[in-house]
Amino acid sequence: MSQKFPRLFFILLAVLFALNLLQASFTELIYDEAYYWYYAQDMAWGYFDHPPMVAFLIKLSSLLFNGELGVRLMSTLLSAGTYVLLWLLIDNPKKKDYVVHFFLLVFSFTLMNAYGFLTLPDTALLFFTALFLWLYKCFLKDEGITTTVGLGLVMAALMYSKYHAVLVILFVFLSNYRLIFNKKAWLAVILAVICYMPHFVWLYQNDFVSITFHLYERPNQAYKFDEFTLGFFLNNIVIIGLLFYWVYSAFFKFKATDKFSKALIYLVYGILIFFFISSFNRRVQAQWTIAISIPLAIIAFNHLLQNASSRKWIYRIGIVSLVLLMYARAWMIYQPLFPMFFETHGNKEWTEELKSKSGGIPVIFENSYRRSSMYEFYSGVPAISLNNFMYRKNQYSIDGSEERVRGEKVLYVSQYRKSGDISYMHLDSTVFHGIYIDDFQSYRKLECIVEKPETGIKHSLKVYNPYPFDVPLEQLKYTISYSNEHKQVKQMLSLKVENTAPQQSLLKSKDTISYNFELPLSTMENPSYFRIGISENNLPPGLNGKPIKIE
């Protein structure tokens, strides 16, 4: 072990690990972390937005610690593991003389730095990408059964981390097309598929809700070069940080000398080209290309070992980056260090204020899975997001969160109301108003299924009740929302429906009721989609139907 890792490496790794532990302990959660913490309260083989790895990591962390560290412990461990794997992936014997350069380089990768203590799906994606590449490198040298099994398990772990992992696996395999004739490679793939089968089953049981949403139902917007394509290029600078010039320069000068180095090139180019093309259709978020950080770090460090000029500049700029990132980390904990607010600021204050004003009763947030999960984490009070036609579906749309507050006295909080029984303000000066509801009842899981007419203008509407109880029809009102080509809602109208069984007063449990309706005339110019929603007990209409293309 000492031959592979000099003593200084372990000293710096211990310092980094301690730093990440302290940062994880004293930094308030960001909203996505709170949302994934909510995942972990009900472990499953899948969730609306992501596979279950992030929830699994949080559950493991919570077994040892409470509070923020109970969300982030595993992230600090995986981050340390990523540094170890990156070191192992570099063969140059000169690396032992440049341990400080190595840590300065990798620490400067901004998002990789942040994922050293934040718990997000990309945290595991980075670690398992590094582990996958290390095992692949071992596989190229020795196709032993241990390495083969390891590859299969890690490919499954990659896919359990984030759906983007399929690109990592795909482009590495494309770099070595002869693997298609390799029995051991197929064994690894088959093992990965078997291990991933529980998530496939979960997707099937939940009508492939994650795939459907990400590919078809996610709202978008008209193409803008500065926000879409230019934003893509800027994001790939941001994820590298101040060393982006030297890192990308090293990559463009890099030449493949073997199958492994070829895999590194394919991985970077493959992911960048894939999301560059995607940028003409939708805004590409910075973290979507985060997996390129692993091969870029390997290539950049190998380059600095061979190039004295680059080594000098990477060391100098790395120190500047270290100072700035440490200051940013301190600011994430203590806001007065910089005149800007971030997600890690003020969450304990607003949740405590709302809990005090509400009297500690359950809180329902209108269209905010972020605030509901953050509030529940810090207050310990049940909270849910009730999603309506102006928002999107999320985990609260498919789990049993409604039943946690059904029949309870609740506080319904919205940022769109002009007044209410109580009000409170976030640090960004957004004012929220809340009203009390004594006996809360919602039916957001009612499913609206529309069938277009073969002739005539009347559509058929079937409403299915998945609940284990009957729903009074008198409590339901039907609406229709019209959207543009990017599925952005522009108009909502009441919908008149004709009950084919007018004597029926209840929608029986696990039963379906049928209606006919005509599309009301929209004042919107050339609407592209319509969607049926149900307003129960005068609540804003839900997302009960799917967006339907208007021919």
Q: Per residue, what are the HEC states of 123-147?
A: HHHHHHHHHHHHHHHHHHHCCCHHH
pLDDT value at position 128? 98
Q: In what order do the strands lie in the sheet with 512-518?
A: 447-451, 458-464, 512-518, 498-499
Would you give the DSSP letter of residue 284?
Answer: P
Q: How far is Cα 360 from Cα 410, in angstroms, rounded to an integer?
A: 9
Task: Retrieve residue 281's tokens.
Answer: 């259709």
Question: 85 Cβ partners below 8 Å, 6+ apart?
Answer: 127, 130, 131, 133, 134
Least Cα distance to 34 among 343, 359, 426 occurs for 343
Predicted TM-score (pTM) of the model is 0.94
Strands 512-518 and 498-499, how do they pair? antiparallel
pLDDT value at position 3? 61
Would you give the DSSP letter of residue 335?
Answer: G
Least Cα distance to 481 among 529, 515, 426 occurs for 529
Residue 515's DSSP bridge partners are 461, 499
Task: Retrieve residue 402's tokens.
Answer: 């409604």
pLDDT value at position 1? 47
Torsions phi, psi for 364 (to 5 deg)? -110, 120
Give yes or no for a contact between 490 and 453, defined as CB atoms under 8 angstroms apart: no
The gap from C-alpha 156 to its chain's centroid, in whole angstroms, comes to 18
Q: How far is Cα 512 from Cα 506, in angstroms, rounded to an integer?
A: 10
Query: Cβ atoms within 10 A of the Cβ of 155, count?
Result: 27
Q: How far is Cα 168 from Cα 151, in angstroms, rounded to an integer?
A: 13
pLDDT per residue of the chain (551 residues) written in tens, 0 to 9: 446 899 999 999 999 999 999 999 999 999 999 999 999 999 999 999 999 999 999 999 999 999 999 999 999 999 999 999 999 999 999 999 999 999 999 999 999 999 999 999 999 999 999 999 999 999 999 999 999 999 999 999 999 999 999 999 999 999 999 999 999 999 999 999 999 999 999 999 999 998 888 777 777 788 889 889 999 999 999 999 999 999 999 999 999 999 999 999 999 999 999 999 999 988 899 999 999 999 999 999 999 999 999 999 999 999 999 999 999 999 999 999 999 999 999 999 999 999 999 999 999 999 999 999 999 999 999 999 999 999 999 999 999 999 999 999 999 999 889 999 999 988 888 899 999 999 999 999 999 999 988 777 889 999 999 999 999 999 999 999 999 988 899 999 999 999 887 778 899 999 999 999 999 989 998 899 999 999 998 899 999 999 999 88
Give yes or no for a contact between 407 and 343, defined as CB atoms under 8 angstroms apart: no
Q: How far is Cα 292 from Cα 164, in angstroms, rounded to an integer?
A: 12
Q: How far is Cα 188 from Cα 150, in angstroms, rounded to an integer?
A: 8
pLDDT value at position 38? 98
Torsions phi, psi for 53 (to 5 deg)? -60, -40
Q: How far is Cα 392 from Cα 39, in angstroms, rounded to an integer?
A: 17
Task: Retrieve residue 229's tokens.
Answer: 């394509």
